[in-house]
Structures are given as C-alpha cells and as structure tokens.
Amino acid sequence: MKIGTPKEIFDGESRVAMTPDSARQLQKLGYECAIEAGAGAAAGFSDDMYTDAGVEVIKTPAALWKASDIIAKVRQPSETELKRLSKDKTLISFFNPAGNEEGMELAKSKGGNVIAMEMVPRISRAQKMDALSSMANIAGYRAVIEAGNNFGRFFTGQITAAGKVPPAKVLVVGAGVAGLAAIGTSTSLGAITYAFDVRPEVAEQVESMGAEFVYLDFEEEQQDGAATGGYASVSSPEFREAQLAKFRELAPEVDIVITTALIPNRPAPKLWLEDMIASMKPGSVIVDLAAERGGNAEGTVADEKIVTENGVTIIGYTDFPSRMASQSSSLYATNIRHMMADLTPEKDGQVNHDMEDDVIRGATVAYQGEITFPPPPPKVQ
C-alpha cells in the first residue's frame, strides 16, 4: 500500500506530516511513500531530500490523494480535501471530531476511514502516538522563547561590571504538558520560576524541575484531578477566589506569565484578569497558550500580539508548533509512523485496522461508512 502526504493548505501552516526520516521507517513497514511537491519546503525538507529517501514526489494534491491508500496530514482537512476520500482510503490527521460535524458527515458519506490524531487516548502505551502532547511540548517551549523575545531584559540574574541584573520572575499557570515544557525552559534559562496548577499531584514534578509550586491559602485541599483521569474539573467558586487572590498578589511581582490552563471540552478558564494585568510592571509579557479556546487572560486576542496601556505585551498566537515547523514536523511524523506501526503488525505494507485495539478504536472517528465517534472508554488504563 502507499502512504501519501499532501502539502498543508491551511493559511500559514508550515508543518508536514511525513519527513524523509519517517518515510524511511514507513518503508521498513512495507509501505511505498509519496509526497506532494513542495510539501516539506516550509519545514526545511526539500523534494530532493524526499527523493533520496525513496519517496515518490507527486505534482498535484489531486494526483497525490488518488495514488495513496493512506493519506497522512497535519491539519483538519478542508471540504475539498475530504471530497477526495473514498471507501478504500484511510486518512490520518487532526480532525476535530467534536467540532466538525460537516467533516464527519462527509467522511461518512465517502465511506473512508478517518483516524483523528487528537483522539489518541492518553494512556502509556499510546504515548508514542500522542501528537497533542508532542505539539503542546513544543508550544510550551516556544511560549517561553517568544516571551523572552518580547521581554527587554535577561532571564538569568547577572553581576556585570556595568551593574547587577536581577533574574526575571516567570509564573506558569497550568502544569500539564505545555506548562511543564514552559517550566523546564524557563528554569534552564535561569529565571525564578513559579507554577500553579489545580492538581496538587504535579507539585513534586514542578519542584523537581527547579520551580516553586504556588500553594493557596485555602482550607480545603487543592482539587484532586485524579478522579477525572488526571484532568482538571471546574473549580468551586471558593477555590477560584483563593486562586485569583494569590494571582493578584503575584501580578506586580512577576515579569512573564505563561498561561496553559485547560479543562477538557470547555472554554479556557479566565484566570488572569484585567486588574492583574493593570498591576503588572511595564515591559511584562503574557503568553496565553489557551488563546484558541478564548484565552486564560482577559484581553487576549487569538493570533495577535497586543500591548496594553500600561505597557504589558499579551501574545495570543495559536500556531506555536508551526512556528517551529522542522521540530514539530519531525515529532508529528514520528507519531504518525508509530500509529502506522500499530496498524501494520505484520510489517507487510498492509493496514490491519483492528477495531478491538483500544488505541486504534479510540482514535478512529469514521470507519467503513459509519461515524465511530465518540469511542467507548478504553479498557486498559
């Protein structure tokens, strides 16, 4: 069978779902590989690099889709792209099944199979295919780099002949995948780093990375996310007030705030409010990774950088992984390659779409003309 990757058509998207390295690995699973001409260029992979890796370069997207049994891409497909799906083809891509009713119906009517990368269950066995985590890791790193780029001072403290420079103070709100990556980047650059999460079980991890976990003056225990499978649930009003009070105290102190707080399937909780922004020092920077879901900070504008009246920069870019296209393409293509390995147990270049397998079942949102989303809960945790 042939795996093909088209050029991404979403405006500004620079990633690509197959790299020359991943193509070499896919060929070891028995597949032929194809790529649309120029698909890897924005991520630093030329057509010649693909040809050298044994990949066929196909000129047009229509011809690429036609020639391929499996289509691997990054972004949720457009209507034009999805119309190219047919019952003998499998699409592997981000798909946004919960918010993409038209796409789901179209996939159903086309009879093709769709594996949605955001639906890979967050269980240990599936970590190697967990593209949301790969991308969140990059976003967390890049958020700190972006903050540094917009902050007019050093991260680390220095004593120089020209004077003493205090270290920057960074607060990371939400210590999930993106938050932990941001914390690691911030401490490695030498900033004094604080982190807060509603899940107290992450405190140890935060502290082991050299950051300080922010505890609340709150009588009840901080929320226990374990009951919701490691994810946070909505905070009680009292807890929220205690959290906001602590943030109010920290706002005039910190130079950089990276917000990553997320509750699955809900709009982003508003945690960094206007009065906190107003009390920050001029030159401070907020990077709001939750911008796509409405933002954790008041005043965030998705995909924009704004500067408030008191000189605070608020960055709401939603495309951090695409801004590091070479790295994110490598990791995403590796996630896809691992998915293909699970789909090809015999390494014979043939897909065995095993709907009894928790991971494959969990990620499959359309199968043989049926919508198979949402999936049943995984059997193995």
Catalytic residues: 122, 127, 130, 133, 231
The answer to whether 224 touches 200, Cβ cutoff 8 Å, is yes
Cβ neighbours of 117 (radius 10 Å): 24
Nearest Cα to 213, choosing from 199, 226, 227?
Answer: 199
Measured from the CB of residue 142, what is the shortest distance to ligand NAD in angstroms?
8
Nearer to ligand NAD by Cβ, of 35 and 297: the residue is 297
The answer to whether 306 touches 299, Cβ cutoff 8 Å, is yes
On the question of a cis peptide bond just before residue 374, with omega within 30 degrees of 0, the verdict is yes
Nearer to ligand NAD by Cβ, of 35 and 136: the residue is 136
- The partner residues of 364 in beta bridges, in order of sequence, read 115
Helix count and strand count (H, E) for the chain: 13, 17
Measured from the CB of residue 179, what is the shortest distance to ligand NAD in angstroms?
6
- The partner residues of 114 in beta bridges, in order of sequence, read 91, 366
The answer to whether 17 touches 74, Cβ cutoff 8 Å, is yes
Where on the chain is the footprint of ligand NAD (CB under 6 A)? Answer: 132, 135-136, 139, 173-179, 196-199, 225, 232, 235, 260-263, 269, 271, 289-293, 317-321
Nearest Cα to 90, choosing from 342, 380, 374?
Answer: 342
The separation between CA 204 and the C-alpha centre of its own chain, rounded to angstroms, equals 23
189: left (phi over 0), alpha (psi -120 to 50) or beta: alpha
The DSSP H or E segment spanning 81 is helix 79-82
Nearest Cα to 249, choosing from 277, 224, 219, 276?
Answer: 276
Integer Cα distance of 92 and 114 in angstroms: 6
The answer to whether 341 touches 28, Cβ cutoff 8 Å, is no
Integer Cα distance of 5 and 23 in angstroms: 10
The answer to whether 196 touches 246, Cβ cutoff 8 Å, is yes
Measured from the CB of residue 321, what is the shortest distance to ligand NAD in angstroms?
6
Measured from the CB of residue 342, what is the shortest distance to ligand NAD in angstroms?
22
Six-digit token pair at 269?
Answer: 């909780």
Nearer to ligand NAD by Cβ, of 50 and 320: the residue is 320
